[in-house]
Structure 1
Amino acid sequence: MTQKPVNTTEPVPEWEKYGLVRFRSLSEVGLLLASLFFLASLMPSLSARLPFIQGVASGVITGVGYELGLGLVWLVRALQFVVPKENRKTLPKWVVLLAATVIVTYALLHADGWTNATRKVSGLPDLDGGLIFAIISTAAAVFAAVWVLARLFWMAVSRIDRQISRVVPPRVALVSGILAGGLLFWSLIEGTAVRFAIQAVDKAQEAADHFVDPDIPRPVQAVRTGSDKSLLEWDELGRQGRAFVASAPTKAEIEELTGAPAMDPIRVYVGRRSAETYQERADLALAELIRVGAFDRSVLVVASPTGTGWMDPNSHDPLDIMLGGDVATVGVQFSYLSSPLALVLHPELGLEQTEAVFDTIYKYWTNLPKDTRPKFYVFGLSQGAFNTQSTVRWLDMLSDPIQGALWVGSPFLSPVWKTVRDGRGAGSPTWRPRFGNGSLVQAIDQFHDFESGLADWGPIRMVFLQYASDPIVMFSYESAFKRPDWYKEDRAQDVSPDLLWVPVVTMLQTALDMTIAVQVQGFGHNYAPIDYMRAWHGLLEPETWTTQKSEDLADHLKARSAQ
């Protein structure tokens, strides 16, 4: 009997058959979907973008669109949903290319108008024409980089699949190849490029933190943190800590503005270099608070700074002035990285430090006489809001609760914010939720104050300040395939009415907006001092504070912001 020859040809992976690894040609379907994604990327978004930033965003989104189109073709063919080649009619390639060209041209002709629609609601002047070249050149370069990286990824997957398919069934080889390729690329990226970049940024931020600005002299008053009598060294407070301590309004400044007797507000700050461990830094914070007499003040605020250790003066100055300086505020640095990097890469740093500081100070506070101890509030901006919401255990202190919290620009993952947003009452928008009867939680923005007609405040007060145009607050992964509620609701004044939901694109747009959300004060993730003042006033309701004083302080803060 004649033996059949053995087929020594290696199996060809499905994705290699259908072009996922091709460098010499482009997919017509991929180009068509990429052009639609390019069109959607130029439409109004939450944050105003300059041409270069818009080009980067459009390049990334267009690249994702192309890969989705290519993947869709592969999936349809791999699942054998296509008609046999000899029996099907296909559109000529030039028709698809013409359609893509028309879509891209239409998008570029409307780019100026769409860009200025976002700028209009942010109070920014229109950009002049001439954006097209900058957008096209940047987007093309970024798209090319995404395209090459995708081809390299699928080439690696294909090689792995070739080897695996010799010993396992094709479908198992398919899944194994994707998983192994993804793991390989992630290891290379995370282990080399990303890690190197993060280390470089971390070292640069640490070096900046060491820099002592000669324009910020060391305090001479004994009660100031960093002075000769302080438990903390001035140079170890870090750049942000020194700025926070030194920028506090003085007794004379407060008296001149309010026309009433005042005192110097207390500001305590512990830098990351002040001690080695979380608990040691928390203990230092408590010891310094005791030394300067913080527990003799009427209000104590335990604040969690942002990733770099920044304490926004716009958030604390209004409180110091409103209370006539009768307030002590403390913050402890936990990182040198910016909040997005610190939150994604090392969230445990902020969580563990915030927990140690709060628990240490709260334990001391509970042992003080209730009729003489200060009112206790927590404060958090951005990552600080996430940290405090994640670590303060409200149920554990119901027998002796603190007075409340102010959270500003809470990241979308913040647990208390998610509970309030998702459990809001019917008819209240996502960006200004009404929770329960209003006795525990209230939310405001730059256009709306505290709601009337709600129940009186209870023993604990929680206030959220956030803007509808803040992508850090409004982002959701579900927006990739589901229209978010804030697209369905009446738009806030700082969100363009021309904003449209597009699957996948909207999620990418909002994610990219998070990187540029601090450009304009009073919009996005840049919170205005006047709004901080309104939030603090509604939370504390100081007895001696009048409407006229609020107007005078608002004028003062507005004039200072304009300088």
Structure 2
Amino acid sequence: MLPTYAGHRTRLAAWEDEPLLGGAGGSRRSSMDHAAGTGVIGAAFAVARSYQPNLLTRASRDQAIITGVTSAGAYGVFSAGDSLLGAIASRVSRTDEASSRARLLVAGVTGAASAGAALALPWREHESSRRAVGRMVAQTTAAIAAASVLTTAANGRTPGLSRKVAFAAAAAVGVGSWLSLKPWQQRPGSAVDAPMPGSIEAKGQYFLEDRAREVSPAQSAAIGLGVAAVTYGLAHGESALTGALAKAATVVVGGEPQDHRMLGRMTSAALTVGTVWFAVAKVSALLSKGGGAVEPGMLTPPQAPEITGSAASGIDWGKVTREGARWLGMTLQPESIASVMGVDSAKQPIRVYASLDMADNDEERARILLSEIDRTKALERKAFALFSPTGSGYVNYVACETFEYLMLGDCASAAIQYSVLPSALSLTRVPTGTAQTQMVMRGIAERLMAMPAERRPKVFLFGESLGSQVSQEMFRGTGILGLEGTGVDAALWIGTPAATQWRRELWGTRTVAEAPEVGPGAAYLPRNLVDWRALPQEQREQVKYLLLMNGDDPIPKFGSEVAWRKPDWLGPDEKRPFGAPHGTRWLPGMTVLTTFFDMQNALVPTPGIFSEGGHDYRDVLPQAIRETWRLSATDAQMTKVDTALRQRELAWELYRDWTAALAKPADKIDEAKAKVLKTASTYTGRTIEEAELHRIVEEGLQPR
């Protein structure tokens, strides 16, 4: 039975007659309740902050998504928080719908207490998770309480103007939030004052990234208006949905309808999260299929027996996956190495690979790779390198080819795949990647111990992006001693993800406000390439294990913690390292979203043109490999290697595109070929006809 009160009316019936925005005297014609009004104000505050620059530049599409998601997220948090405050206020006023006075009292006390708690927990580098979460909760609660007070004050007791005044208040909050950031002083982390190695120029400004993007003022205004309209619609729809759910809950389980508003909003949020999760799962499934398919231009297996997939290996070429086929099929030939390095002869480099599709489990995959190492006599070469691929299985060809050129082919490279998805969607595969890499390392160590010391090769490690984490986590919990004890001669990792525990162990309690010294041991962890280049030569010669990163690379900065913890690279402006954004302020939820989009924009290279910044390390890699791995080469040879690397990158890209075009249905081939020629013209900055494209490919696949 539903509870009743004076006048023999049910609480539900009475609630249905109450105003939907504000307290007594509101207009029932308004389609938003008090919580929705607070949600709109919170969304306005967050939308203004969503325009802040982060590590890299962004395009209009990215900005639209960031602003939209930020608006929806802020609306949900603020409206849910206001519902809770309203439920408490209704008990204070002892009415079904909280009075304005009760709302102001509850929100005021809550806001003051939360603001005090936030002030008592100022940000500190290396602070505990408990402290960071406590401050975030306090700051968020204080903001919700302030927005709730503003909603109550704005609504007042004027029925006809309540909705207009509420949106006017939201607009004022949005403008104030934007102006408080001093946007005219902000700039992305990739922006530099003058040209630097690998930088690009765009409209008189210089950036350390592959491509400079922009959101025009007109587009910014359009995005803002569009998001405002969507938020308005969201407020209407969400208010109606939660109202209906609250009524239903009151009928089914009893209690106060006001209390069930929170349940309704939580249900709405759960439906949204479920929809997003379903979409991500579908995208992952589609990408998995694409990542495992070998491209038309790479369907022919290699002929050299030193390469996995050749007839001598006995491994089905159809199972090497797309990235495996690329890496194995692009192996340098001895004649090309000799020509580029200016020597009489060179050896055929060894490349062995165990793809995800070759085995059903980690152990079998590791056995396949070790078997290939044995078959090719890889450990009898002068040097052996174990490359940890990215999430998709990609092995950095600039690093590998530099290794092969400088070793004159007398070397072996190995890689084992743990996923076919992009790194951002392969995070859960890190334990698998680390486990099977450890198995391979143990197998290699056993074989080396059985060899005479004078015949053992130099052993190197290389990892990029998620591959760096996979490789480094083998030494988790053992510090630098764990790596030194393996007998690895040198290692180079680029763009190590923020979640890598071993790197955190090595970094310790150092501050990002100061350039680090070499250590522990022979490891060096620069904050950016500026640190690495500024390191005195005598100290650089001590480095055997280099964890290289660009200052504006989002991979080493992105992580779930950024959603609820202010990161060290967003500390006080005057203490931020090179590559961090200037003037940008952290916001829960939003900063992790903008950093995620930075990851999507971090590597969009133009084939044949080596840039620097973001997640692009092509420009610095050859020299870093040469120095860290102690490989001999003259400056003249390095210049020729740099040229050959660029030639090969462009040639192989155009070759794959052209063969893919020829594989189209007959009625689509001409259109596809025209598209490739247009793309080639964009890459080179000049008009490319079919004959010229064939020349670029023929001369560049194996430079002479």
Q: How far off its partner does 1:226 sit?
A: 1.5
- Kept in 2: contact 1:517–1:525 (CA 8 A): yes
Report if aligned partners of 1:305, 1:381 keep a CA contact under 8 Å in 2.
yes
Q: CA deviation at 1:436?
A: 3.5
Q: Does 1:509 align with 2:518?
A: no
Instruction: Rate the CA distance shift 1:498–1:219 in 2: closer, same or farther, 3 A.
Output: same
Partner residue of 2:634?
A: 546
Report which of the two structures shows the higher radius of gyration computed on alpha carbons.
Answer: 2
Report 1:138-287 matches (<5 A).
139=227, 158=246, 162=250, 166=254, 190=277, 192-203=278-289, 205-206=290-291, 209-214=292-297, 217-260=300-343, 261-287=345-371
Q: Check 1:57–1:189 CA distance in 2 against 1; reply closer, same or farther (3 A cut).
A: closer
The yes-or-no answer on 1:527 pairing with 2:597 is no
Where does residue 57 of structure 2 map in the other structure? 48
Q: Determine the C-alpha separation between the residues in 1 that align with 2:253 and 2:332.
A: 71
Q: Measured at CA, do residues 181 and 381 of structure 1 come closer, stay the same or move farther in structure 2, by a change above 3 Å?
A: same
Instruction: Tell me the SS of whatever aligns to 2:315.
Output: coil
Tell me if 1:363 matches 2:446.
yes
Describe the shift of the 1:149–1:34 C-alpha distance in structure 2 as closer, same or farther (beyond 3 A): same
Alignment correspondent of 2:153: 90
Secondary structure of the residue aligned to 2:297 is coil
- The 1:273/1:34 distance shift into structure 2, 3 A limit, reads same
User: Out of 532, 543, 550, which is 1:449 matched to?
Assistant: 532
Report whether the alignment pairs 1:464 with 2:473: no
Alignment size in residue pairs: 544
Pick from 584, 609, 626 the counterpart of residue 537 of structure 1: 626
Worse-matched range after superposition: 334-343 or 99-108:
99-108
SS of residue in 1 equivalent to 2:493: strand
Quote how far apart the aligned CAs of 1:525 are: 4.5
Cα distance in 2 for partners of 1:73, 1:299 equals 64
**1:456-478 Cα distance to aligned partner (Å, 9 max, x none):** 877x9321111121222113555
Partners in 2 of 1:78 and 1:502 — Cα distance? 27
Which residues of structure 2 form unaligned runs of 5+?
A: 23-28, 105-151, 156-161, 192-201, 651-682, 685-704
3-state SS of the aligned residue for 1:49?
coil
- Alignment CA distance shift 1:510-1:12 (3 Å): farther
Match of 2:505 among 407, 416, 419: 419
Instruction: Give SS of 2:622's match.
Output: helix
Contact 1:251/1:265 (8 A) holds in 2 = yes
Q: Tell me the CA shift for residue 244 of structure 1.
A: 0.3
Pair 1:428 & 2:514 matched: yes
Q: Which one-letter code corresponds to 1:374 in the other structure?
A: P
Q: Distance in 2 between matches of 1:415 and 1:144?
A: 43
* Alpha carbons 1:224, 1:267 under 8 Å: kept: yes
For 1:470 and 1:552, locate their aligned partners in 2 and report how far apart those are by CA, in whole Å: 28
What do residues 8-60 of structure 1 show as CA deviations (whole Å, max 9, x unaligned)?
A: 756999xx99889x993273332232222112111212122211121011111
Give secondary structure in 2 for the equivalent of 1:222. Answer: coil
CA shift at 1:214, angstroms? 3.2
1:101 and 2:171 matched: yes
2:487 matches 1:401: yes
3-state secondary structure, aligned to 1:328 = strand
Q: Assess if the C-alpha contact under 8 Å between 2:347 and 2:410 holds in 1.
A: yes
Letter in 2 for 1:202: S
Work out the CA distance in 1 between the residues paired with 2:298 and 2:307: 17
CA shift, 1:184, in A, is: 7.3
Amino acid of the residue matched to residue 288 of structure 1?
Answer: E
Q: Is the alpha carbon distance of 1:518 and 1:398 closer, same or farther for their aligned partners in structure 2, counting shifts above 3 Å?
A: closer
Corresponding letter in the other structure for 1:541: R
Asked if the contact 2:298/2:325 (under 8 Å) is kept, the reply is no
Q: TM-score under structure 2 normalisation? A: 0.65
Q: Give 1:61 deviation, angstroms.
A: 1.0
Q: 1:307 & 1:493 partners in 2: Cα distance?
A: 27
In the alignment, is the contact (CA less than 8 A) between 1:530 and 1:558 conserved in 2?
no
Cross-structure match for 1:25? 32
For residues 299-354 of structure 1, the C-alpha deviation after alignment (integer angstroms, 9 at most, x for no partner) is: 2111221222111212322222232223211112222222111214x444434433
Which one has more relative contact order, counting CA pairs under 8 Å at least 6 apart? 2
Task: For residue 328 of structure 2, give the secondary structure of its aligned residue in structure 1.
Answer: helix
RMSD: 4.4
The Cα offsets for residues 61-120 of structure 1, whole Å up to 9 and x where unpaired, read as 122222233234334334449995259682355455335435667969x99997899674
Structure 1 Cα separation of the partners of residues 397 and 347 of structure 2 = 18
Change (3 A) 1:122 1:29: farther
Structure 2 residue 405 is matched with structure 1 residue 321? yes
1:152-195 CA-to-partner distances (Å, cap 9, x unmatched) read 98569747964896599x99x999988888777766764x4443
Give the Cα–Cα distance (whole angstroms) in 2 for the partners of residues 349 and 402 of structure 1. 22
SS at match of 1:36: helix
Aligned residue number for residue 666 of structure 2: none
TM-score (norm 1): 0.80
Q: Which residue of 1 aligns with 2:132?
A: none
CA distance in 2: counterparts of 1:453 and 1:115, whole angstroms: 33
User: CA 1:265 to 1:155, structure 2 compared with 1: closer, same or farther past 3 Å?
Assistant: farther
SS at match of 1:471: coil
Alignment match of 1:298 (pick from 382, 385, 390): 382
Change (3 A) 1:314 1:548: same
